[in-house]
Amino acid sequence: MVLELRDICKDYARGKMKVPVLHHIDLSVEEGEYVAIMGPSGSGKTTLMNLIGCLDVPTSGKRILRGEDLDGLSDDRLADLRNREIGFVFQAADLLPGMTALENVALPLTYRGVKKKERLQRAKEMLERVGLGDRLDHKPNQLSGGQCQRVAIARAMVGNPSLLLADEPTGALDTQSGEQVMELFHHLNQEGVTIIMITHSSEVAACAQKTYLIRDGRIQTGGSR
Ligand SMILES: Nc1ncnc2c1ncn2[C@@H]1O[C@H](COP(=O)(O)OP(=O)(O)OP(=O)(O)O)[C@@H](O)[C@H]1O
Ligand SMILES: [Mg+2]
């Protein structure tokens, strides 16, 4: 099992009020699975993704990533685990504007102490894999939205994470760029990468093997397809 969530609850504090957002979520994701999460705006999808990606902590419940109980870990160990095991792709590719595509993709490797020459070599190979081998020196404002999203995917994948998390990766893209991103995810999944993807589009969700529906902070179906 790559990921297990057991009885996860999440409340946000608003002043003195507690706002419950996730209620008793149980979710298991196996090695090599490709899972889509759908649900209305405000239902708690991003909140859930942030908990899975170690960007936030649950109010109660257990998160187990590759057999490790996340809540027992020190901040350093958590940051290290996140850096090694998880790649993140957000709705709008959040690239650093002053850096080239190559530098953006190489960045996560600096946190791991990979030497510069190897960083740039690996970033170049990853950009070639996403079809941007001819755009290495372009800055984000010299790339299309779809190209930026592919750079963001290359950045998420450059450290060979075992789990790719994507929060509406095609939300800001036209149909054709969206299809390219889905094709890329399909290839990565075929190579063994486990993917959890949030989407509003049932067409996009159809690319995954399973779909979970979240409504008002609860998982509604036990996965379909
Ligand atoms: N930091 C926060 N403090 C208080 N409430 C929050 C916070 N972040 C999110 N919320 C609330 O939690 C609920 C779930 O938000 P979340 O971002 O998880 O929704 P979502 O399903 O991702 O929606 P969308 O499809 O619009 O992205 C919303 O009602 C939101 O207002
Ligand atoms: Mg969201």
From first to last of its 225 residues, the chain has per-residue pLDDT tens of: 899 999 999 999 888 999 999 999 999 999 999 999 999 999 999 999 999 999 899 999 999 998 899 988 998 988 888 888 999 998 777 899 999 999 999 999 998 889 999 999 999 999 998 889 999 999 999 999 889 999 999 999 999 898 999 999 988 888 888 898 899 999 999 999 999 999 999 999 999 999 999 999 999 865 555
CB 217 within 8 A of CB 22: yes
Question: Cβ contacts of residue 141 below 8 Å, gap of 6+?
Answer: 97
Tell me which residue has tokens 């759908």: 38
Residues with CB under 5 Å of ion ligand 2 are 45-46
Query: Is any ligand 1 atom within 6 A of the Cβ of residue 93?
Result: no
Query: Is any ligand 1 atom within 6 A of the Cβ of residue 52?
Result: no
Task: Give the integer Cα–Cα distance in Å for 190 and 207.
Answer: 12
Task: Give the integer Cα–Cα distance in Å for 63 and 140.
Answer: 35
Mutate to test the pocket of ligand 1, among 9, 10, 12 (most ligand atoms within 8 A of CB): 12
Q: Spell out the domain ranges in the chain.
A: 3-224
Using a CB cutoff of 8 Å and minimum separation of 24, what contacts does 174-183 make?
174/145, 174/146, 176/146, 177/144, 177/145, 177/146, 177/147, 177/149, 178/146, 178/204, 180/131, 180/146, 180/150, 181/146, 181/149, 181/150, 181/153, 182/207
145 sits in which H/E element? helix 145-157
Question: Residue 21's pLDDT is what?
Answer: 97
Task: Give the integer Cα–Cα distance in Å for 74 and 187.
Answer: 34
Positive or negative, the CA dihedral 162, 73, 27, 167 is negative
Residue 107: Cβ within 10 Å count: 16
Question: Residue 175's pLDDT is what?
Answer: 87
3-224 CATH, one of 3.40.309.10, 3.90.1150.10, 3.40.50.300, 2.70.70.10 = 3.40.50.300
Q: Which residues pair with 38 in a beta bridge?
A: 213
